[in-house]
Amino acid sequence: MPSAPLADRLSAPSGPLFFPVTPFAPGGGLALDVYGAHVGGGVEAGAAAVFACCGTGEFPALTPEEFEACVRAAVRAAAGRVPVVAGAGYGTALAVRYARIAEAAGADGLLVLPPYLVAAGQRGLLLHYREVAGATSLPVIVYQRDNAVLTPATAVELARADGIVGLKDGVGDLDLMQRIVSAVRAESPGGLLYFNGLPTAELTQLAYRGVGVPLYSSAVFCFAPEIALAFHRALREGDDAAAHRLLDGFYRPFGELRAQGAGYAVSLVKAGVRLRGLDVGEVRPPLHEPAGEHLERLARLIEHGVALLERDGGPA
């Protein structure tokens, strides 16, 4: 692995942040060979980092043994070319266990998901993330969403904590994020990396960029890397016109399709990977597969998105 710390490697990514799906074989077990091909193909296509076994990777559906196997496979496939960040979650004790498994498997960092079920207060959340961060040498990115929404004061304390380097937002409250960014900037000079973690984050990234959140997850990169790369390049180069063409012609319709079913932020993405020729299997319960008509719409939408790029001269 390159010697640069994770925060440095993620601060100005050369491509999208890749959240691969987890492939399952027809019998229900892991398809690790397919997973290696999926991760390796994403790295070769231009991903700047691999976030293994996170939300899109169905972290809650994996056993600890499967989690370890997937993280090891992702590390092998990335081969040091880009960092591998692994998910970790549930209550504090299990999150610590997953963090240690990820460290032993060779991960470069952790994305810590909200604690399972408990609606904790700010002090409890702070204790939770500090304990997970202190359990390994891996840098930690905190994922804010659902039952784990931080105040600006708590974000400042996290920024001061050893081992915590980033905050990923899945709430979508831009007023809150602006106040968090401002408070951390004023009160913790070391700061944090900020990520837009909303489903289909490209839809909101122009707005997030305006409040100081430059990084975003790209689920679309899983199945249409050429489209995700073109959008990332448009943002990097300040080409808002190109970004708007992709938003209007692809991302908005995809977001509207994603909203047609519960869990489609994962199952529709996995279906997209299959449509592009890689058999990653179906999602595990409690998620379910998209309706047939929605798969047909997705296929047409991918075709239309690729055609948009061709009319613009193709991806660089």
Q: Which residues are catalytic?
A: 143, 168
Amino acid at 94: L
Amino acid at 178: Q
What are the residues whose beta carbons fall under 8 Å from the beta carbon of 98, sequence distance 6 or more? 64, 67, 86, 87, 88, 89, 90
Residue 10: in which H helix or E strand, if any? Answer: helix 6-11
* Positive or negative: CA dihedral 179, 234, 243, 224: negative
What span, in angstroms and rounded, lies between the C-alpha atoms of 3 and 126? 29
Q: In 3D, which of 142, 139, 63, 129 has the Cα closest to residue 91?
A: 129
What span, in angstroms and rounded, lies between the C-alpha atoms of 211 and 206? 9
Q: In 3D, which of 88, 139, 146 has the Cα closest to residue 113?
A: 88
Q: In 3D, which of 76, 70, 87 has the Cα closest to residue 22?
A: 70
What span, in angstroms and rounded, lies between the C-alpha atoms of 274 and 223? 8
Question: Would you state the structure tokens that stand for residue 314, as one six-digit string?
Answer: 């193709």
Residue with tokens 């999926």: 38
Cα of 157 vs its chain's centroid, Å: 24
Question: CA-based angle 169:171:173, to the nearest 5?
Answer: 100
Question: Would you state the structure tokens that stand for residue 141, as one six-digit string?
Answer: 């990115």
What span, in angstroms and rounded, lies between the C-alpha atoms of 24 and 301? 25
